[in-house]
Amino acid sequence: MPIVWVTGGAGFIGSHLVRHLVHTQPNWHIVTIDALTYAGNLANLADLKDAPNHTFLRVNIADGPAVEKAWEAYPPDRILHLAAESHVDRSILSPLDFVHTNVLGTVTLLEMARKHWKGRTDVLFYQVSTDEVYGSLAPEDFFREGSSYDPRSPYSASKAAADHFVRAYGHTYGIPYLISNCGNNYGPYQFPEKLIPLTITHLMERKPIPVYGTGQNVRDWIYVEDHVRAIALLAEKGQRGHTYLIGARCPRPNLEIVTLLCDLYDELTGARDSRQLITFVKDRPGHDFRYAIEPSPELHALGWQPQVSLHEGLRKTLHWYLQNQAWVNAVRSGEYQSYYALQYGERLR
C-alpha cells in the first residue's frame, strides 16, 4: 500500500485534499503531517476520525529530527507538500515565520527525500504553490507556463524560494518532482483572515467589511474542490519535472467579489443593505495589482475542468459558514484576536 504524505493536511486546502484522497484512493495510506499552527485544525478532519487509511501526525516540517521520526514510522512514497504560512498580510507583519516554514521547512523535507529516496524513480515530491510567485500583471495580461518568477511579497518570495529548491533538488539529486501554481482558493474551512471568509464572517456579524485601496485589485478565483481534483489527478498522471498552472479562468476585482457576497447574503438570509457594510481602508503595502491564469493545456488534456462556477461556489461557501458558526468561533478564539487588532485596528478605527 503506497504511503502518501499530505503536509499541511489540517489546513484549508490540505483538509479537502486529504478527504478527497481518503475517499477516492482506498489503497493509499494517507498520512497528514501538520504542526497545527493557528491555521491548522483537527476539526477540519473530524469526519475522517475512523478512516482506516488515514493517520494524523503532529509534526513541524522545519524540525529535522521530528520529520525523521515520522519518516521511520510511515516512510512516504509520495509527498504532497502543502504545509506553509499562507497569508500575505501576516508575511508583511512577520516575514521570518514564512522563511522558517516555507523555505527551511521545504528544504528539510527535500533533505529527507534525498537521504531516503536515493535512486528511486517511483516516488514523487509534489510542491503545491501559488500564482503569486509570478508577481503582478498589467491589465489584460495572463500568467502562463514559463512566465518568469517575480515575487513581490514576503509570502510569495518564500514560496518562490521553495519552488526553486524543489527544482534544484530535482536537477541535482534526481528527485522526481512536480509543481503546480494555483490562484486564489475559496470554500469551506478557510481561515477567516482571507478575503472571502473574512467578508462572510463580517456579514454575519454586521461588521464593516474592509476593502483595501479602491477594491480594483484583481484575483483569479477557484473553488477549493476544483483545485483539489487537479492536485489528485496530477499526483497520479502529471509529468515528472513539469510545472502546471491551475486556474478556473475567473479573474475578478475584489470589489466585485465583496459586492456579490453582500447580495448573495441578503438573498439567502433576508438581511438588507449589506453593501452598506463595505468600507474602503488603507491599502496593503506593496499590494499586487492583478493575478490572472492561463491554465496549462496539459491539465485539460488529462481530463480536468473546473466544475463549480463562481456563483455556485460562493453560495456553497456562504451556506457552509452560516451552518458552522461554532467552527468560526473556535478558530478565532486564540491568537486571531491579536492578529486582527494589529491588522485592522488602525484601518477600521
Catalytic member of 85, 132, 220, 288: 132
Contact positions toward ligand NAD, by CB under 6 A? 8, 10-14, 34-37, 39-40, 60-62, 82-86, 101, 105, 128-130, 159, 182, 184-185, 191
- 217 makes contact, choosing from ligand NAD, ligand TYD, none, with CB < 5 to 8 Å by partner type, with ligand TYD
Q: Given 3-state DSSP classes, what are the helix, strand and coil percentages for the chain, each rounded to the nearest 5? A: 45, 15, 35
- 159 makes contact, choosing from ligand NAD, ligand TYD, none, with CB < 5 to 8 Å by partner type, with ligand NAD
Q: How far is the CB of 88 from ligand NAD (least distance, A)?
A: 10
Which parts of 29-146 fold into alpha helices (H)?
Answer: 64-73, 88-93, 95-98, 106-116
Q: Where are the beta strands (DSSP E) in 27-104?
A: 29-34, 54-58, 78-81
- Cα dihedral 326/331/337/342 (nearest 10): -130
- 19 makes contact, choosing from ligand NAD, ligand TYD, none, with CB < 5 to 8 Å by partner type, with none
| Nearest to ligand NAD of 179, 209 (CB atom) | 179
Q: What spatial distance separates the first Cα and last Cα of the chain, rounded to whole Å?
A: 56
* 236: annotated active-site residue: no
Catalytic member of 131, 220, 225, 226: 131
* 132: annotated active-site residue: yes
* 149: annotated active-site residue: no
Q: What is the DSSP letter of 186?
A: E
Contact positions toward ligand TYD, by CB under 6 A? 88, 184, 194-195, 198, 210-212, 217, 219, 254, 284
Q: How far is the CB of 80 from ligand TYD (least distance, A)?
A: 20
Query: Distance (Å, rounded) from C-alpha 126 to C-alpha 328?
Result: 30
Q: How far is the CB of 17 from ligand NAD (least distance, A)?
A: 9
| Nearest to ligand NAD of 117, 126 (CB atom) | 126
Query: Distance (Å, rounded) from C-alpha 35 to C-alpha 55?
Result: 14
| Nearest to ligand TYD of 44, 254 (CB atom) | 254
- 211 makes contact, choosing from ligand NAD, ligand TYD, none, with CB < 5 to 8 Å by partner type, with ligand TYD
Q: What is the DSSP letter of 295?
A: -
Catalytic member of 34, 85, 126, 155: 155
Q: How far is the CB of 112 from ligand NAD (least distance, A)?
A: 13
Q: How far is the CB of 262 from ligand TYD (least distance, A)?
A: 14
Query: Distance (Å, rounded) from C-alpha 284 to C-alpha 87?
Result: 12
For residue 158, give the 3-state DSSP assignment.
Answer: helix
Residues with Cβ within 8 Å of residue 55, at least 6 apart in sequence: 29, 30, 31, 32, 74
Please name which of 293, 290, 295, 177 lies closest in space to residue 244, comparing C-alpha atoms.
Answer: 295
Query: Distance (Å, rounded) from C-alpha 85 to C-alpha 156?
Result: 10
For residue 228, give the 3-state DSSP assignment.
Answer: helix
- 10 makes contact, choosing from ligand TYD, ligand NAD, none, with CB < 5 to 8 Å by partner type, with ligand NAD
Q: How far is the CB of 70 from ligand TYD (least distance, A)?
A: 29
The strand pairing partners of 124, in sequence order, are 78
| Nearest to ligand TYD of 32, 184 (CB atom) | 184
- For the annotated catalytic residues, the residue numbers are 131-132, 155
